[in-house]
Chains A and B, each alone.
Chain A
């Protein structure tokens, strides 16, 4: 290693990780040490391996090589330190369940096998719903929620996990402006409480506004560090390769970012 990493204070430390689907690598030699208490954006083109990286951290996809440490320990011993917001499209929203029950699933890890969530779990779930402004929708069947409301329910479920680190896969995808604001407020609040967040994000325009740390990724880590150092046209060029429309968008976003400095 080029630089020593103090693992006990490093929420996520990925070392030399390669992930392959059917022998085709989707992530190469990822080395990353995410600092504590940062709101970290993960940005890159489609198929860059953003979701895969998040899933690999939680052992949801097998690693071909390398390891991940959560505060210096393997994930299997640190599960309760991590909260997860998957992509909204990953589940069937016609499933017979109401919003509160979905949020309650965030408590399952604490409850353990066979036992039922108790009154305290229920209160925590209701609290989480309240934080995302969905108190009145707890007993609503989930297919009767708008896309933004469904996303808030997913966020509430992660909040109910009461974790130190939150991994979020495109929490802003397909939500209305009000929900996007509500979510970003919650993320800022989590950051103020020294939580660490890794957030897959698509909208280059809001990158510099939302994230203080940034990981640019395209099958490998292109750049990682403070947003002000990493969010440059050169780095975005490397990340997005020849995708012209994205690039012009990126140039605009960077120009906007630099004007703002």
Chain B
């Protein structure tokens, strides 16, 4: 069967639409709540909760012999919450730290769950129970009544997030301040934890106990790269989660024997990696471009200052090799630097020597002067208005605003300090071995 018609058939299949809608809801809910869980540093607790839910699923089945989703999820919730309470008890009443307590409870409950599950699989009724789907998740097992449960839970979570957005924001940013205002920290925290429990439980069937935490963490972590506003982050995270859910189901439908959970998580991870790389400002590429632009500019400035230092009255030209030893850089890098500055129209290179153009001289004098001003700024900044300092991250040239330069020049004028750009008064600040062209 050609793959195109395969896709076509799958999309128009009623069961598939059901499954797709379910996964979309799960992704959206876990993405939305994940933003809060990650910022509150509770994301691993979601993981413990999910793993600790497994024995509950098995016990609920053994007890009732029913595989109705609400019953299984009730069992899951009870054992998940018991697991989390045990973690808190261990942390509060022993000297064991949170990470170890989490590890202990998570593995014991999960181990117990696996034992029970194996026991059920080997018994007669167990064969058809499909409980093993709870390990890695199988969205295909979603039926109409399951979807109703998911819809209700998702709606509950979304409404709660909408209503208590302000309280959650306050709790995560400054819990103590929020309590001082009269919002019980315990109540807000319990509410948030309760929503996380609901979200994890409703996602168990489709994503599985092992990986559901990833659906909580990954979209939120990816969303953080794109924005500095909480409500935008929550929105982006929810949408990303929904996309991952839908795409995950779509992809795994093409190869029906692959469980949906891992595919969803892989899609989410891809979204995360893309965010890490290309997000503006916070992304790795943006950061790299910034650092590189800084390094290039700095090296260019060092070149110009070294040129002025070496230039003598009678000779306009400076030999590149001399510049190299002055800058303590290998000759090939100085050559590349000269070439780049030549493109800017500052430097003329010929036969292993170079000279500054008129523009280059202007720039060099400016560099020397601002370097000197910078040094004086560091000395005098305590008496200048800090208000006027604008600091977008690491961009040095933005730090000295025109007002500050004006003030500095006044100070310098009073102290009769020469800022005409006489290089021989300068320290050897440019002798740095940074990266260059």
List A residues at the B interface (Cβ < 8 Å): 55, 58-60, 76, 79, 82, 84, 86, 90-92, 95-98, 101-102, 105, 108-109, 111, 113-114, 116-117, 133, 141, 144, 146, 148, 157, 176-179
Contacts and interface: CB of A to CB of B under 8 A. Distances in A.
A188 to B, nearest CB: 19
Interface string B379-394: 0001111110101110
Contact of B228 (A55, A82, A98, A114): A98
Interface string B171-183: 0111011111111
A55 B180 CA distance: 9
A116 B173 contact: no
A60 B176 CA distance: 7
A58 B176 CA distance: 10
A96 B181 contact: no
Most A CB atoms within 10 A — which of B172, B173, B229? B173
B181 A79 contact: yes
Contacts of B230: 95-97, 101
Contacts, number: 86
A152 to B, nearest CB: 9
Contacts of A179: 386
A97 B229 contact: yes
Contacts of B383: 177
A148 B386 contact: yes
Contacts of A55: 176
Given A95-B230, A108-B166, A141-B228, 18 more contacts: A82-B180, A84-B177, A86-B174, A91-B173, A96-B39, A96-B224, A96-B232, A97-B173, A97-B230, A105-B169, A105-B178, A108-B170, A108-B181, A108-B183, A111-B166, A113-B167, A114-B167, A144-B393
A255 to B, nearest CB: 25
B287 to A, nearest CB: 14
Contacts of B393: 144
13 contacts: A58-B180, A76-B182, A84-B180, A95-B172, A95-B173, A96-B233, A97-B169, A105-B174, A108-B166, A108-B178, A113-B167, A113-B183, A114-B163
Nearest to B391: A146
Contacts of B176: 55, 60, 86, 90
B177 A178 contact: no
B229 A79 contact: no
Contacts of B384: 178
A96 B170 contact: no
Interface residues of B, number: 35
Interface in B151-197: 163-164, 166-167, 169-170, 172-174, 176-183
A78 to B, nearest CB: 10
B365 interface: no
Contacts of B15: none
B271 to A, nearest CB: 18
Contacts of B233: 96
Nearest to B388: A178
Mostly helix, strand, loop or mixed at chain A's interface?
Answer: mixed
Interface of B: 39, 163-164, 166-167, 169-170, 172-174, 176-183, 224, 227-230, 232-233, 382-387, 389, 391-393
Contacts of B229: 96-98
A90 B181 CA distance: 16
Given A60-B176, A105-B173, A114-B163, A146 B386 contact: yes
A93 to B, nearest CB: 10
A146 B389 contact: yes
Nearest to A82: B180
Contacts of A176: 382, 386
A90 B386 contact: no
A224 B387 CA distance: 36
Contacts of B172: 95
Contacts of A79: 180-182
B397 to A, nearest CB: 17
A233 B346 CA distance: 65
A144 B182 contact: no
Contacts of A101: 169, 230
A105 B387 contact: no
B166 A116 contact: yes
A102 B173 contact: yes
Contacts of B227: 96
Contacts of A92: 173
A55 B224 CA distance: 32
A181 B393 CA distance: 25
Contacts of A96: 39, 224, 227-230, 232-233
A74 B176 CA distance: 18
Contacts of A177: 382-383, 386
A95 B172 CA distance: 9
A109 B181 contact: yes
A58 B324 CA distance: 65
Contacts of A76: 182
A55 to B, nearest CB: 8
Contact of A178 (B163, B178, B387, B392): B387
